[in-house]
Structures are given as C-alpha cells and as structure tokens.
Amino acid sequence: MDKVLCSLLLLGTTVMMAHACPKYCVCQNLSESLGTLCPSKGLLFVPLDIDRRTVELRLGGNFIIKITQQDFANMSGLVDLTLSRNTISSIQPFSFIDLETLRSLHLDSNRLTEIGGDDLRGLVNLQHLIVNNNQLSQISKEAFDDLMLTWRTWISLITICEECPGIPYARWSTCTSSAWTTTL
C-alpha cells in the first residue's frame, strides 16, 4: 500500500511539473529554460497556452494579425521573440510591458503602418529590433523612449525610411515615409 501511495504521489508531482506545449508547436527544454517554436503553423493569434517560463519564442511565418496585452503577459523571462512574416497590422499599447529581459524582437515583414508611443513600452533591455519590410508611415516620437538602442538597432530602423541622417544614436522626433527628423 505504501508503494502504491508513493508511486501515485511521485506520478502526480511529475505531471504537475510537466507543462503542455501549445498545439502545433515544438517545445525544447534548454537546461533550465524553455524554447517554444511555432514557425509556419498557420496560427491566427498568439497561442494562449505558452509556458510563461519560455525564453525563446518563434512565431514567424503565421497569420497573426494583431498583438494584444494578453499575448505576452507574465513572460518576464523571454529573451528572443520572433514575429516576422505574419500579417500583423497593429500592436496594442503596452503589449510588451512585461518583457523587461527581451533582447531581440523581430517584427519584420508584417503589415504595420505605425508604431505608437506606447507600443514598445517595457522593452528596456532590447538590443536588436527589426521592423523593416512593413508599411510604416508614422512612428511616434515616444516609441523608443524605453529603449537603449545600439548602433546595429538604429541601422535596422534607419532602413525603413528613404532619407536618414548619419547619426548613430538620437531620439527620433518624427518619422514619415520620406525622412527622419531628429532632436539632439
């Protein structure tokens, strides 16, 4: 009887420790971290059941149309997020607010027309931001206030505009499809 009880207790503990992987995704245990890979799976939205301990999340090549505040809530350990090659046309303000450890964000090849002042709020450790191949016509001057961007990040941002000054780091005051204007 004791052996059966111990076995059931051990089984219950094991089941509780195991976290489900979202349908159509592949989850990889990488030592103490978790990678969730869902590229080109036909997803229409960010899966709700992503393990909040995920460090790397790949959602590229799907049909996600918008990013909401709930999509990445409590994912405070996320370091690398790929949302490339979707159909994202809007980012709800404060959608990335819990992602303080995020270092890399790929938003390229979507349908974004603007980046609002609070769309990237919370990304205080971001080192790599890719937003090229979108339909951007306006970027708020407050959009990058939380970001401490590197030269490489600015190069990526500069490529979305036709004419850009050769300044490695500045607070951009406005961006239109024709040019950047900076405030030093």
Judge whether residue 101 has pLDDT over 70.
yes
Nearest to 127 by CA among 97, 157, 86, 83: 157
Q: What is the structure's pLDDT at 169?
A: 33
CB of 144 closer than 8 Å to CB of 170 = no
DSSP string, 169-183: S-EEEEE-SSBEEEE
User: Which of the 8 DSSP states describes residue 66?
Assistant: E
Residue with more model confidence, 50 or 10 = 50
Least confident of 67-71, 76-80, 127-131, 157-161: 157-161
DSSP state of 74: T
Instruction: Report the helix count and the strand count for the chain, using DSSP H and E.
Output: 2, 12
Among 34, 6, 37, 5, residue whose Cα is nearest residue 18: 34
pLDDT band at residue 82 using 50, 70 and 90 as cut-offs: very high
Calculate the alpha carbon distances from 92 to 88, 105, 119, 133, 154 in Å.
Answer: 11, 16, 6, 20, 23
Given a contact cutoff of 8 angstroms between Cβ atoms, the answer to whether 46 and 72 are in contact is yes
Q: What is the mean pLDDT of residues 118-138?
A: 91
159 has pLDDT over 90? no
User: 52-70: per-residue pLDDT in tens?
Assistant: 999 999 999 999 999 999 9
**Quick one: average pLDDT of 149-169?**
47
